[in-house]
């Protein structure tokens, strides 16, 4: 099976370098028309320039692809809506959105200012919300859409000194899970990638020997699959360095004593049993978790 994007239009945020650039080049080589969005700022979000986005567009046009540069900040809803309107005017549709733009302002929580916390939330979480909202109704009307959120190991599992980043990245998983349910009947699939790649975002977070094995191209195959016509929905894939794994939000079988018998002392006494992962499940939605809490899904 060859995955093709002929006739598809993709918007990729943060595509002036690193992962975003790698996504843009691969999708363009597979036939997609690509919007290379990048504010062109520093790693902490300061500054702006269209040069990085234009350089990627030039790479794409050099091998015969079709692309346009855009410098909108994902935190500026009016600019994002204008970007989408321009894309629709030029190419008539938007089939794919990859929410890849991000910044870092790492500090331990005790030293982190609320401004640094909010700014990271605004770019990663609200930036993804803004871009998704701007294409959502269009994709519903088309009866087709593929949206990719970007989480991280920090969001899924935590990392010292990244409380703001981790909070934003796990919030995107929750956003994906609800939008996957709401988009299903319109053929709008929403997935999440947790990349492990050597980019300017990670260049001082991992040793050089590890970075050498983690080129952005090692993440591209999983991400491209998650925005393809054949893509599933409500999936989290971890990818990088030649490996791909699937992450789940799981639930143990726990205990069920009934509201009258359950006490804090019983929770303490049976904590190991509650934590036992034998037979754990991954509920399809919040209602399934509620059913388990009431004992309705404990059989087997």
Active site residues: 165
Mutual orientation of helices 163-183 and 127-142 as an angle, nearest 10°?
10
In DSSP terms, 145 is beta-bridged to 188
Instruction: State the Cα–Cα distance between residues 181 and 185, nearest whole angstrom.
Output: 8
CB 235 within 8 A of CB 8: no
- Look at strands 33-37 and 9-13 and give their pairing: parallel
At residue 275's C-alpha, the angle toward residues 273 and 281, to 5°, is 110
Instruction: Name the one residue in this structure whose structure tokens are 């030029």.
Output: 90
In DSSP terms, 97 is beta-bridged to 11, 147
188 exposure class (CB count in 10 Å sphere: 0-12, 13-18, 19+): buried
């Amino acid at each position: 099976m060859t995955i093709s994007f002929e006739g598809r239009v993709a918007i990729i945020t943060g595509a002036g370098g690193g992962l975003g650039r790698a996504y843009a080049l691969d999708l363009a080589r597979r036939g997609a028309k690509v919007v290379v969005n990048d504010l062109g700022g520093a790693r902490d979000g300061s500054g702006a320039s269209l040069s990085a986005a234009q350089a990627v567009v030039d790479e794409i046009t050099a091998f015969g692809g079709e692309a346009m540069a855009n410098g909108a900040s994902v935190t500026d809803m009016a600019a994002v809506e204008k970007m989408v309107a321009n894309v629709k005017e030029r190419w008539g549709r938007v089939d794919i959105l990859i929410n890849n733009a991000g910044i870092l302002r790492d500090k331990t929580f005790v030293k982190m200012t609320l401004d640094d916390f909010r700014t990271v939330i605004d770019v990663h979480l609200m930036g993804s919300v803004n871009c998704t909202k701007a294409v959502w109704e269009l994709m519903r009307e088309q009866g087709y859409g593929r949206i990719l959120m970007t989480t991280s190991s920090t969001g899924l599992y935590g990392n010292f000194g990244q409380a703001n980043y981790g909070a934003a990245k796990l919030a995107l998983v929750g956003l994906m899970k609800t939008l996957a349910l709401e988009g299903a009947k319109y053929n709008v699939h929403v997935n999440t990638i947790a990349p492990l790649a050597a980019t300017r975002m990670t260049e001082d977070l991992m040793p050089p020997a590890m970075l050498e094995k983690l080129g952005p191209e090692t993440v591209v195959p999983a991400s491209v699959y998650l925005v393809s016509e054949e893509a599933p929905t409500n999936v989290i894939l971890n990818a990088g360095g030649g490996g791909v794994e699937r992450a789940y939000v799981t639930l143990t079988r726990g205990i069920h004593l009934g509201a009258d018998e359950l006490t804090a002392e019983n929770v303490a006494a049976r904590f190991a049993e509650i934590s036992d992962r034998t037979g754990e499940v991954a509920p399809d939605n919040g209602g399934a978790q509620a059913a388990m809490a009431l004992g309705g899904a404990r059989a087997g």
